[in-house]
Amino acid sequence: MSSIPEFSSFGKLFKSSAPVELTEAETEYAINVVKHIFDSHVVFQYNCTNTIPEQLLENVTVIVDASEAEEFSELASKPLRSLPYDSPGQAFVAFEKPEGVPAVGKFLNMLRFIVKEVDPSTGEAEEDGVEDEYQLEDLEVVAADYMMKVGVSNFRNAWESMGPDFERVDEYGLGPRESLAEAVSAVINLLGMQPCEVSLCFHYCMIS
């Protein structure tokens, strides 16, 4: 991310998420997003693929509605200049958030672009295009995005060495689960941590 001028001042990257799909399989456009977490910024990297041979997309931008993410304010948007058939590209949107705060929220996404018809016999696109939009799935920044998986050789010593200032108590609803193992997996995914000391194999699970 530091190689992109718009984001070079954001400092050290803390974590990048796994890609989150924003479109269903086998749709006209395949879009997923990677969340890049910084101390006081979040950058959404929208990975875009055009699956229609007869179309060329230009000036591809993601319009993000952050009305349900009150602690975030949009800072910059970097559109994708051109998106030919089956040639992946990236568009970016950056948000500022309170420094050092694990802010969470929901973001609504709309893909906006100019579409030009492509002559299948020549591969040339028409000079004039039409503005169009494509609704994407919502995206959430969650607490797990601020968690870094770490290896802990002695969980109890590490736990007891941390003072009360580092403790937080909260409640989460997991919904119905088929088994205890499935519930444990849900907790691990929810918190963005990993089992340690092989505790996943027993009736308790320590995660870090």
Whether residue 184 sits in one domain with residue 127: no
- Number of residues assigned to the chain: 208
Q: What is the pLDDT along the chain (208 residues), one digit of tens a residue?
A: 778 888 999 999 999 999 999 999 889 999 999 999 999 999 999 999 999 999 999 999 999 999 999 999 999 999 999 999 999 999 999 999 999 899 999 999 999 999 999 988 888 888 889 999 999 999 999 999 998 877 777 777 877 888 887 777 777 677 788 877 777 777 776 676 777 766 555 555 666 6
Task: Choose among 106, 103, 98: nearest CA to 20.
Answer: 106
Is 190 a domain residue?
yes
Which pair of tokens denotes residue 109? 């996404």
Please tell me the distance from the alpha carbon of residue 111 to that of residue 90, in angstroms, as a whole number. Answer: 12
CATH code of the domain covering residue 188: 3.30.310.10
- Domain-located, residue 206: no
Domain edge (last residue) among 142, 158, 186? 142
Tell me which residue range forms the domain holding 33.
5-142
Does 54 share its domain with 157? no
Q: Angle at CA 132, nearest 5°, toward 127 and 135?
A: 150
**Where among 123, 142, 161 does a domain terminate?**
142
Domain assignment present for 208: no
Has residue 128 been placed in a domain? yes
pTM confidence score: 0.83
Shared domain for 182 and 129, answered yes or no, is no
Identify whether the C-beta of residue 193 lies closer than 8 Å to the C-beta of residue 149: yes
Tokens for 33? Answer: 């997003």
* CA 113 – CA 82 distance, rounded (Å): 9
58 and 116 share a domain? yes
- What confidence score (pLDDT) does residue 207 get? 65
CATH number of the structural domain spanning residue 34: 2.60.40.1480
Measured in degrees and rounded to the nearest 5, phi and psi for residue 151 equal -85, 125
Number of domains in the chain: 2
